[in-house]
Amino acid sequence: MLSLKRKTDEVGALTPNVIGNKVSTPAVTQDATDIEETTMDKDRIKGSAEQAKGAVKEAAGKILGDKKLETEGKTDKAAGQVQNAIGGLKDAVRGK
């Protein structure tokens, strides 16, 4: 019976697929250590999300003429920028 599951070697790397007498290899491979090097601090991710949320609130406030919503948006954007900066400092300390 033909198995459709991907097999891994002892290190966890994907092994080539054998289909008939042809061998196919994965198009993209990534070493597990590369993932650690490319991950951002969670504060940077949350800060960016907060900035985006603030931008949406600010734009909605301007469109609707709602000063309170517009101010909330500006506040959220500023808080997101601070949180993003904190995450950037953490990344810098870790050497990323």
CA angle 41, 44, 49 (to 5 degrees): 135
Q: HSE, CB side, 13 Å, CA atoms: give it for residue 95.
A: 0
**Mean pLDDT, to the nearest integer, of 37-50?**
83
User: Does the structure show a pLDDT above 60 at 83?
Assistant: yes
**Selection from 35, 56, 46 nearest residue 80 by Cα:** 46
This prediction's pTM: 0.58
30: confidence class by pLDDT, cuts 50, 70, 90: low
